[in-house]
Chain A
Amino acid sequence: QVHLVESGGGVVQPGRSLRLSCAASGFTFSSYAMHWVRQAPGKGLEWVAVISYDGSSEYYAASAKGRFTISRDNSKNTVFLQMNSLRPEDTAVYYCARAGGQHWLGGLFDFWGQGALVTVSS
C-alpha cells in the first residue's frame, strides 16, 4: 500500500532554513508527480509546490516562490522541500501528497503523509 512519511520538521528561528523530506513506498515513485501542502494550526489547507515525476518541472504557490525549492531523488524514492528565509507565517504542518495519476502534473492529491510540523519562532 502507498505510504508517505515526512521528516525534518522542528522549531526554527525566523530567517533560518529547514529541509523537509518525504519517503515514499508502495508504488512506483518515479511515475508520479509529488506535492507539498501545508496547514497552519487550526486553519485550512494551502498548496505549496509540485514537482513532476522526472523532476523536470516545478511550480510554486506565490507564498513559496523564491524561498522554497522542491526536489526529488527517484533513486531513493524521496521528495524534498528546502525552505529558506522562514517567516512566522510559515508555521504549519507540511504534508507531502501524491498526484492522482501517473506521469501527470495535476493537482489532485490521492495519498497524503501524516505531516511534519514546522514552527518558526524566535
Chain B
Amino acid sequence: DIVMTQSPDSLAVSLGERATISCKSSQSVLSSSNNKNYLAWYQQTPGQPPKLLIYWASTRESGVPDRFSGSGSGTDFTLTISSLQAEDVAVYYCQHYYGAPYTFGQGTKLEIK
C-alpha cells in the first residue's frame, strides 16, 4: 500500500499570510501512461464532510478560491494557501488515487495565529 505522510501535523498562520502543507508518498503516483499525478487535496471543517479542493496534484476544483494551489510531482507535493482567510481554518488531507487501496495522509490542522 502507498503510505501518505503530511507535514506538519499542525500549523498556525496569521491572517493574510501564506500557509504551506507538504505531502509525501511512499512511491510515485505519477502515471507514465498519461503523465498525471494521482494526488488530491481535501479540506475538512469541523462537523463537515471533506471537500475536494485540488486533483491531479494541481487542478483546482470548480468553485475553490484561487488562493488555494497545489504543486509537485512523483512523490513530493505541496498545498499552498497564498493569503489565509478565517474560513480556511480546517484539517487538510492529501490522498492518492493511483490504485486501490486509496490512502490519505494523517491530516494537517491549520489554525489562525
Contact = CB atoms under 8 A, between A and B. Distances in A.
Q: Do A and B bind each other?
A: yes
Interface of A: 44-47, 50, 59, 61-62, 95, 100, 106-115
A59 B100 contact: yes
8 contacts: A45-B42, A47-B104, A50-B100, A61-B100, A107-B100, A107-B102, A110-B61, A111-B52
A29 B59 CA distance: 24
Interface string B38-65: 1010100000111110010000010000
A56 B88 CA distance: 39
Contacts of B55: 100, 108, 110
Kindly list the 8 A-B residue pairs having the minimum CB-CB distance in the complex, ordered from nearest: A107-B102, A107-B97, A112-B49, A47-B102, A45-B104, A59-B100, A108-B97, A44-B107
A47 B101 contact: yes
Interface size class of B (residues with CB under 8 A): 20 to 34
Given A45-B93, A59-B100, A62-B101, A108 B106 contact: no
Nearest to B100: A59
B interface: dominant SS = loop
Nearest to B61: A110
Contacts of A115: 49
A106 B107 CA distance: 21
Given A47-B102, A109-B42, A109-B50, 19 more contacts: A44-B106, A45-B93, A45-B104, A45-B107, A50-B100, A59-B100, A61-B100, A61-B101, A95-B49, A95-B50, A100-B52, A100-B55, A106-B97, A107-B97, A107-B99, A108-B55, A109-B52, A110-B55, A112-B49
